[in-house]
Structure 1
Amino acid sequence: MAHFPDTRGFTGTLRPLRIEGDILDLEIEGEIPPQLNGTFHRVHPDAQFPPMFANDQFFNGDGMVSLFHFHDGIVDFRQRYAQTDKWKLERAAGHALFGAYRNPLTDDPSVAGQIRGTANTNVMVHGGSLYAMKEDSPCLIMDPLSLETIGYTRFGGKLRSQTFCAHPKIDPATGNMCAFAYATKGLLTRDMAYIEIGPEGDLVKEIAFENPYYCMMHDFGVTEDYAVFHVVPIVSLWERLEAGLPHFGFDRTLPVYLGVLPRNGTADDIRWFKAPETVFASHVMNAFNEGTKIHFDTPVAMGNCFPFFPDVHGEPFDPIAARPYLTRWTVDMTSNSDTFESVVPLTDMIGEFPRIDDRFATRRHHHGWMLVMDPDMPFEGPSGRASGFIMNRLGHIDFSTGQQTSWWAGPQTILQEPCFVPRTPDAAEGDGYIIAVADNLVTNYSDLIVLDARKIAEGPIARAKLPIRLRSGLHGNWANATSLAA
């Protein structure tokens, strides 16, 4: 008999959902733009069985992939588990076999040496396949429409890395998926690799190198000429795992680095630039280079943003220092200095989960969107959220003019990561739509909202209404009908 623990990660807004199913022709409020022809895939962690440990991390749940299929002004919904090796083994046993988040020392002996990945962090269509990704394991392949699981891939056995990132980027010039991997030779190792996958899904390159220290390498940046890695001290050691502590912890005594690797170079060409102070940064809006000068846009907080990965030295969590602000880091590959050339704040909005018009990835972007926390607005939902953040606004920045606009979702609602969809394939940058899941924490329903990307202050032009509330998701992406046909 299933019984989930009465802890923060499994109750309230984070209670497990565990629903697989289909809904044809969701109820629509407003009108879905007829130009929207394709799919929006997103994923959330959702444990199929109660965990082995009551204090397990939210991020340790099995990947549940949601599909919103747009066609003819209609939106269909489908949801399936990503059937990882872990999911299959536990399904056969009828209960959890894998232990704490990224801690194989806590697993049932029957699954020793098995892939622990959950494919619960990001999903993206490339080469006609759906990539379901978690950065501690190989990439899982699924069918983008049926959501049938095909299995893990090593790209024809050519990829040497044991892991694959959760935040690949598509180079619009080449069509290559630009990715990376860390702990490529085993858990807690400093080994990394830069990877490119061709438009047909073949391995194009894999450049191995070493990180200054082991840490969570969740995201990165890609420019036309460089791959850019920010190293932030969310760190771990075997001693932490042996002691049963959370896998990661924040260590303010370690420096922050920005590693820059020429995409057509070798590991010998990488340079590591040291930040002026130790800060927290996770997701990346975009990166671009002007010659040898590299610009890297990321939300930066002065303190640890992750209360569930506490400070390794016991420092208390500071929710004010944890507030991130979009910031531009700039370094120059021709500089004789190994320090940042500049650190420039780009907005006064407290924001995370930044996105751009992905057709302009690797190049200078003029529009960006992100989730925004506005602590001055009323909130009627439950308190005690695991992240401490209430993302109640959607923000837009026009970098050409400096204009900032936003839309407040209301006192009962929080927003999940936005995604930009161009109005037409050749539309100008930023001309299109923003789609995002909006969660009403009082009525317990979710809507997929559609907004005009340059007029978000006007609010949604359409809502596809679900009869359930989706669990908090991590990331997702749009694929137009043409890429699905591939």
Structure 2
Amino acid sequence: MKIHRLPPIRSTLRPNDHPYMNGPWTPQHEEVTATDLTVLEGEIPHDIDGVYLRNTENPIHQPLGRYHPFDGDGMVHQIDLRRGTVSYRNRFVRTRCMVAEQEAGRALWGGLMDPPGVSLRPGFGAHEGLKDASSTDIVVHAGVALSTFYQCGEAYCMDPETLEPLGLAPWVPLDGISAHPKVDERTGELLFFNYSKYPPYMHYGVVDRQRRVVTYTPIPLPGPRLPHDLTFSEHYTILNDFPVFWDEELLKSRIHAVRMHPNLPSRFAIIPRHGSAADVRWFEAEPTYVLHFMNAYEQGDEIIMDAYFQDNPTPGALAGAPPGFEHMMAYLDEQSFRPHLRRWRFNLRTGTTREEPLDDRILEFGTINQQYAGRPYRYVYSSRTEPGWFLMTGYVKHDLQTGQSWELNLGPKRYASEAPFAPRIDAKDEDDGYLVTFVTDENTGTSECVLIDAKRFSEGPVCRIALPHKISSGTHSHWAARPFLARAT
């Protein structure tokens, strides 16, 4: 393996016993480019060509207050697979906050678990005092990788092949964009939303393949909400208003306490892709919260939508957690909020909603073949996690047509992220390709890239490729086939 290391960054982080700064979450500060990677098992397929990108949180400086894993500075890890060859690189997302803290040589912002007064400077994003770490999601749109932050940030651009920084996305509105923007590979459009504490509380937008905002409209809500994701069908976008949001009375005192309001329904806003607020139709459903949506498509008078329904969106303290972390870890424990794969049917003619469970297992962080996004599809690849730690330990493949499913476990103390689907070159059908992920192995203190043949799912990895260093645990990732890496002009 040939490794080129970049100059080290300035870090003031001290050894500590914080549960999300050790073990699988041990921060990685080293930036490298590596070639001639070692293949640990199998061989690199020749029928795959593109890049896998994964965002992770890596705190650089000693926190001002209580650290939450979502506070860590964004770092993008990439593996480039080119018809049998492979290379790896990783780079920090050089946000304005990260650059300012490098210049100061210390942390300047508090985190998710801290009151606004902890921060020494105002935030650059839409939410007061909170650092835009750009550490949540990563997508490729019009040949540019976009790194985003879940609480509405600025969206940082990178070259998806070299990871060179390309600055801020110039089209992002004043209120920022939230994770997770969605790319429709068929049209080349990117769909996004943002939210704030001020009326109308949400906006929705569409960016075309030339990176121009062609739709931007308010989506009026009754008050501040906490949306996290959206989904789309061929002609519509689906936004949400869930009954899980800040306590309104405490918010007046700038206390951000999330509450479940069980007397309120879940509401879904269905808007034509290039529609306005006047075109929104609201559909009510059972109270819940959805962290991530899978897909939606149109069938007759209905829009069919699949997502992860939470049985217990606001769990209590997690038993057995380290002292002081009981409540934070409960919200990071899928066994506590209990998400299950569910289907909603919105009837555009009658205005009614029907719901049906698709699986009773605890599942989240799913992926699909993105060539089928917004259209009828058959396969979903969901992640399973270890109780208490938000660590992904395996996957479940669902055939939504037959109801069959297959499960794959990565083995003890081996932790991955959501695994995007990478279609084979000249793929013949929907599951003709690979799942790609990075795995951190706590047994050996190493990390690797794993490829799973989706048609031979239960057989396990067909290829394992050693990475040059151990990487921190992460959640969101993206696959971009080579044709999508060409920039729009």
TM-score scaled by structure 1? 0.87
Within 5 Å, which residues of 2 pair with 1:284-433?
284-304=293-313, 322-337=337-352, 340=353, 342-373=354-385, 385=389, 387=390, 390-425=391-426, 427-433=428-434
Which stretch shows the higher mean deviation, 249-258 or 124-133?
A: 249-258
Q: 1:357/1:206 Cα in 2 relative to 1: closer, same or farther (>3 Å)?
A: same
Map 1:98-247 to 2 at 5 A.
Answer: 98-101=109-112, 105-109=116-120, 111-112=121-122, 114-115=124-125, 116-135=131-150, 136-155=152-171, 159-183=172-196, 187=197, 190-236=200-246
Trace 1:396-475 onto structure 2 (pairs within 5 A): 396-425=397-426, 427-475=428-476
Task: Tell me how many residue pairs correspond in the alignment.
Answer: 460
CA contact (8 A) 1:102 1:247 kept: no
Tell me which residue corresponds to 2:275. 265
Deviations 1:103-154 (A, max 9, x none): 6823544x22534311111111211211111132121111222212222223
Is the contact made by 2:335 and 2:388 (CA closer than 8 Å) also made in structure 1?
A: no
Q: Which amino acid aligns with 2:416?
A: L
Where in structure 1 are there 5+ consecutive unaligned residues? 376-382
CA–CA distance in structure 2, aligned partners of residues 279 and 45 of structure 1? 27
SS at match of 1:282: strand
Percent identical residues = 28
Alignment partner of 2:396: what SS?
strand
Contact 1:105 1:241 in 2 (8 A): no
Return closer, same or farther for 1:253/1:6 CA change in 2, 3 Å cut-off.
farther
Question: Can you give the 5+ residue segments of structure 2 that lack an aligned partner in the other structure?
Answer: 1-11, 126-130, 319-323
Query: Contact 2:34/2:87 (CA < 8 Å) preserved in 1?
Result: yes
Residue 356 of structure 2 aligns with an amino acid whose one-letter code is V
Distance of aligned partners of 1:280 and 1:73 in 2 relative to their CA distance in 1, 3 Å threshold? same
Residue by residue over 1:364-390, the C-alpha shift from the partner in whole angstroms, topping out at 9 and shown as x without a partner, is 1111111124x8xxxxxxx852x4xx5
Paired residue secondary structure (2:59): coil
Letter of the 1:171 partner, please give it.
D
Matching residue of 1:380: none
Distance (whole Å) between structure 2 residues aligned to residue 284 and residue 273 of structure 1: 16
CA–CA distance in structure 1, aligned partners of residues 74 and 316 of structure 2: 22
Contact 2:77 2:90 in 1 (8 A): yes
Q: Check the 8 A contact 1:26/1:464 in 2, yes or no.
A: yes
Distance 1:253 1:87, change over 3 A: farther
The residue type paired with residue 131 of structure 1 is: L
* 2:95 is the counterpart of 1:79: no
In 2, Cα distance between the equivalents of 1:320 and 1:479? 31
**Structure 2 residue identity aligned to 1:40:** Y
Cα deviation 1:282-323 (Å, max 9, x = unaligned): 11110112244111101112102777999xx99x98975622
1:51 alignment counterpart:
63
Is residue 141 of structure 2 the alignment partner of residue 92 of structure 1?
A: no
Match of 1:274 in 2: 284
Q: 1:7 to 1:197 in 2, by over 3 A?
A: same
Code of the aligned partner of 1:298: A
SS at structure 1 position matched to 2:360: strand
Q: Residues 34 and 468 of structure 2 are in contact (CA less than 8 Å); yes or no, is this contact kept in structure 1?
A: no
Corresponding residue for 1:26? 37
Shift of 1:173: 3.2
Do the aligned partners of residues 21 and 319 (structure 1) sit closer, same or farther apart at CA in structure 2, a change above 3 Å counting?
closer
TM (norm. structure 2) is 0.86
1:131 aligned counterpart, secondary structure = strand
2:159 partner letter: D
Pick closer, same or farther for the CA change 1:329–1:449 going to 2, 3 Å.
Answer: same
Using the TM superposition, give the Cα deviation of residue 41 of structure 1 relative to its aligned residue in structure 2, in angstroms.
0.8
Question: Cα offset for 1:43?
Answer: 0.4
Structure 1 residue 275: Cα displacement:
1.5
- Could you give the per-residue CA deviations for residues 71-113 of structure 1, whole angstroms, max 9, x where no partner exists? 242221111110111001101000000112286823544x225
Deviation readout 1:179-198 (Å, 9 max, x if unpaired): 22222xxx565522221111
Q: Structure 1 residues 15, 286: CA separation in 2 closer, same or farther (over 3 Å shift)? A: same
Cα distance change, pair 193–291 in 1 and its aligned pair in 2 (3 A): farther
Distance 2:114 2:217 in 1: 27
1:180–1:195 CA contact under 8 A, matched in 2: yes
- Report SS of the residue matched to 1:288: strand
Contact kept, 8 Å, 1:64 with 1:80, in 2: the verdict is yes
AA partner of residue 291 (structure 2):
S
> 2:479 maps to what in 1?
478
Q: Against the structure 1 CA distance between its residues 307 and 222, is the aligned structure 2 distance closer, same or farther, given a 3 Å change threshold?
A: farther
User: What SS is found at the alignment partner of 1:347?
Assistant: coil
Bigger shift: residues 115-124 or 167-176: 167-176
In 2: Cα distance, 1:358 partner to 1:141 partner? 21
Distance 1:336 1:34, change over 3 A: closer
Identify the range of structure 1 (245-254 vs 29-38) with the bigger mean alpha-carbon deviation: 245-254
Letter in 1 for 2:170: R
Question: Quick one: which amino acid aligns to residue 311 of structure 2?
Answer: M
Aligned residue type for 1:86: C
Q: Any idea what the Cα deviations from partners look like across 1:143-180, whole Å, max 9, x if unmatched?
A: 2222122222232xxx5442112222222332211222
